[in-house]
Amino acid sequence: MAAQQPHDLNCLTVAELEKHAEQCMDKQTRDYYNEGADSGSTLLENSQAYSKYRIRPRVLRDISLIDTSCPLFGARSPLPMGVAPTAMQCLAHPDGEAATARACREAGVVMGLSSFATTTLEDVAAASGSNPRVLQLYLFEEREHSRKLIQRAKATGYKAVFLTVDTPMLGRRNLEIRNQFKLPKPYKIANFAENSDSAASKTVMDGAASDTDADKREGKKSTSAPGVHDGEKRTPPAGPISFHTHAPNPTLCWERDIDWLRKECKPEMEVWVKGIATGEDALLAVHHGVDGIVVSNHGGRQLNGALATLDALPEVVDAVQGKIPVHIDGGIRHGTEIFKALALGADFVWIGRPVLWGLSYKGQEGVALCLRLLRDEFTLCMGLAGTVKVPEISKDYLVKVDKSGSVSRL
Tens digit of pLDDT for each residue in 90-116? Answer: 999 999 999 999 999 999 999 999 999
Which pLDDT value is given to residue 235?
Answer: 87
Q: Is 327 marked active-site?
A: no
Catalytic residue among 20, 145, 244, 298: 298
What digits encode the pLDDT tens for the residues 279-312? 999 999 999 999 999 999 999 999 999 999 999 9
CB 399 within 8 A of CB 410: yes
Cα end-to-end span (Å), the chain: 36
Which value, to the nearest 10 degrees, does the dihedral of the CA atoms of residues 199, 203, 208, 211 take?
-30
Pairing of β 292-295 and β 270-276 = parallel
Give 135's pLDDT tier (boundaries 50, 70, 90).
very high
Which value, to the nearest 10 degrees, does the dihedral of the CA atoms of residues 124, 130, 131, 135 take?
50
What digits encode the pLDDT tens for the residues 31-75? 999 999 999 999 999 999 999 999 999 999 999 999 999 999 999
Which pLDDT value is given to residue 222?
Answer: 63
Which pLDDT value is given to residue 198?
Answer: 40
Which pLDDT value is given to residue 206?
Answer: 52
**What integer best gives the mean pLDDT of the chain?**
93
Q: How far is CA 187 from CA 70, 94, 195, 204, 223, in A?
A: 36, 9, 13, 10, 18
Which pLDDT value is given to residue 234?
Answer: 87
Three-state SS sequence of the chain: CCCCCCCCCCCCCHHHHHHHHHHHCCHHHHHHHHCCCCCCHHHHHHHHHHHHEEECCCCCCCCCCCECCEEECCEEECCCEEECCCCCHHHCCCCHHHHHHHHHHHHCCCEEECCCCCCCHHHHHHHHCCCCEEEEECCCCCHHHHHHHHHHHHHCCCCEEEEECCCCCCCCCHHHHHHCCCCCCCCCCHHHCCCCCCHHHCCCCCCECCCCHHHHHHCCCCECECCEECCCCEECCECCCCHHHHCCCCCCCHHHHHHHHHHHHCCCCEEEEEEECCHHHHHHHHHCCCCEEEECCHHHCCCCCCCCHHHHHHHHHHHHCCCCCEEEECCCCCHHHHHHHHHCCCCEEEECHHHHHHHHHHHHHHHHHHHHHHHHHHHHHHHHHCCCEHHHCCHHHEEEECCCCCEEEC
Q: CB under 8 Å to 253, separation ≥6 — which residues? A: none
Mean pLDDT, rounded, for 141-158: 96
Please determine, for residue 204, whether its predicted confidence score (pLDDT) is greater than 80. no
Alpha-carbon span 349 to 330, nearest angstrom: 9
30-44, 200-214, 298-312, 353-367: range with lowest mean pLDDT: 200-214
Give the Cβ contact number of residue 227 at 10 Å.
18
Which pLDDT value is given to residue 180?
Answer: 93
Which pLDDT value is given to residue 194?
Answer: 62
Length of the chain: 410
Which pLDDT value is given to residue 196?
Answer: 37
Alpha-carbon span 278 to 397, nearest angstrom: 24
Please determine, for residue 134, whether its predicted confidence score (pLDDT) is greater than 80. yes
Q: How far is CA 62 from CA 58, 69, 141, 384, 388, in A?
A: 11, 18, 55, 11, 8
Pairing of β 228-229 and β 160-164 = unpaired
With vertex at residue 209, the alpha carbon angle to CA 206 and CA 213, rounded to the nearest 5 degrees, is 165
Alpha-carbon span 342 to 347, nearest angstrom: 6
Give 11's pLDDT tier (boundaries 50, 70, 90).
very high
Alpha-carbon span 383 to 335, nearest angstrom: 12
Mean pLDDT, rounded, for 269-278: 98
Please determine, for residue 197, whether its predicted confidence score (pLDDT) is greater than 90. no
Alpha-carbon span 410 to 400, nearest angstrom: 7
Pairing of β 228-229 and β 234-235 = antiparallel
Give 1's pLDDT tier (boundaries 50, 70, 90).
very low
